[in-house]
Structure 1
């Protein structure tokens, strides 16, 4: 079995892959500052699912928080006697070229998403990952050709809340209508619908620019519970990033 980490700025998704089945958990990235704290969390999670530590044979990591890298390396060696594998743009896996000005700046989560999208959905995909930031990645003819980054829903809400005296902090839900008659609705529409409509428009512009009818793949914790009829959520893949990490390790193993 594989132990997979998707280390994000706010949350960390842990996954155990057994064949093609995933068992997943979500914890706060700030919840562990040492390898021992991380193990204590994982031990409890494993025990609750009757997963034995010695069944883990590989550890793969997508990490966008540099300060966590050393912790994860020590964790893997100390408790599993394994060398962890970190997703990197410098490994040419599955013949994916990264046509970016500075490939080193591409987040490991985005690389993982691109890998999984290519292998599971085809050569021409646009991947949306809804987290602290919303990343959009374009896979064109099997290669990463660029993307965009915008503040996520909660990030936008917190920025508004922290800089205004009379705007309340609210739950993020999507009203059925496009303008509201109270402050809560105004904020929900202004943040969520403005971002979603903006993404829909951007995607249509990308399709028009490239003359390609890209398949849209969506993932990320902030997208999971959104109730919307937007076409960009038609192909929601909760485990897309973890799948990409697993595929990355599989390639390096020569399988």
Structure 2
């Protein structure tokens, strides 16, 4: 089985993929001080709970937006899973798509992986909206090329900033308002409405502008933990693909193994 590792700013997702099926998936908080041995303690325990063992892993691939965790994750794969992982962004790892931006090396690995999966699974042109620590909009051309995108503060970052900067405003959870009314009748309702409908407005506005720049027929894919919450309240999102990044990692691994 293939071990895929998606190391984001907030969480690191480990998944076991058999063929094209994700059979197990685990999430750890991202910690740039964690060692390979510490990763093993957590992952081996989670694997054993599901009847899996390290010898089940026959290959591995890592995508990380946190450079400090790449080395311990690489050591984890080599030392405990007996496999040399592919690293998205390394010169010898081919994406299978062209990257048309000024400096390809500065594009987050997760954004490129999402573009690969969007093109392979749905075809271009497409917009991929990823609700992570940052909310990103990435453009896939009609021939699969990555064309760039938009980076916005993630909704949880916005909530944290609002709470920290305004002494009388409480910390609130990300929840859709109980109704479709925008006007809040209390401080809590006003905050929920402002954050939620503000993000819906941002999504809809950026999708309109991106389609005007590229193609009015672009598909809009959403991924990330909050994708479903927002997709239920706007027509701008066509489909939610929760495992888009993991499937993109699988596709990149298969392309590189096939060409080896």
Task: Mark the CA change 1:236 to 1:28 in structure 2 (over 3 Å): closer, same or farther.
Answer: same
Query: What RMSD in Å do the two structures reach over aligned CA positions?
Result: 1.7
Write the distance in 1 (CA, Å) between the matches of 2:33 and 2:71.
12
In the alignment, which residue of structure 2 is the partner of 1:14? 14
In the alignment, which residue of structure 2 is the partner of 1:193? 197
Offset from partner CA, 1:196-224 (integer Å, 9 cap, x none): 21111111111122233100111012324
TM-score for the superposition, normalised by structure 1: 0.94
In the alignment, which residue of structure 1 is the partner of 2:154? 152
- Cα pair 1:200 1:232 within 8 Å, conserved: yes
SS in 1 for 2:239: coil
2:225 is equivalent to residue 221 of structure 1: yes
Once the 2 structures are TM-superposed, how far is the Cα of residue 231 of structure 1 from its aligned partner?
2.4
Return 5+ residue gaps in structure 1 as ranges: none
Write the distance in 2 (CA, Å) between the matches of 1:192 and 1:10.
21
Once the 2 structures are TM-superposed, how far is the Cα of residue 92 of structure 1 from its aligned partner?
4.3
Task: Mark the CA change 1:125 to 1:89 in structure 2 (over 3 Å): closer, same or farther.
Answer: farther
In the alignment, which residue of structure 2 is the partner of 1:79? 80
- Cα pair 1:173 1:226 within 8 Å, conserved: no
Write the distance in 2 (CA, Å) between the matches of 1:12 and 1:222.
16
In the alignment, which residue of structure 1 is the partner of 2:173? 171
Once the 2 structures are TM-superposed, how far is the Cα of residue 129 of structure 1 from its aligned partner?
0.6
Between 1:181-190 and 1:108-117, the stretch displaced more is 181-190
- Cα pair 1:218 1:232 within 8 Å, conserved: no
- Cα pair 2:114 2:128 within 8 Å, conserved: yes
2:46 is equivalent to residue 45 of structure 1: yes
Number of corresponding residues: 254
Task: Mark the CA change 1:32 to 1:224 in structure 2 (over 3 Å): closer, same or farther.
Answer: farther
SS in 2 for 1:51: coil
In the alignment, which residue of structure 1 is the partner of 2:130? 129
In the alignment, which residue of structure 1 is the partner of 2:105? 104
In the alignment, which residue of structure 2 is the partner of 1:67? 68
- Cα pair 1:4 1:14 within 8 Å, conserved: yes
TM-score for the superposition, normalised by structure 2: 0.92
Task: Mark the CA change 1:120 to 1:200 in structure 2 (over 3 Å): closer, same or farther.
Answer: same
Write the distance in 1 (CA, Å) between the matches of 2:41 and 2:197.
40
Between 1:192-201 and 1:106-115, the stretch displaced more is 192-201
Return 5+ residue gaps in structure 2 as ranges: none
Task: Mark the CA change 1:129 to 1:205 in structure 2 (over 3 Å): closer, same or farther.
Answer: same
Task: Mark the CA change 1:42 to 1:232 in structure 2 (over 3 Å): closer, same or farther.
Answer: farther
Write the distance in 1 (CA, Å) between the matches of 2:141 and 2:153.
24
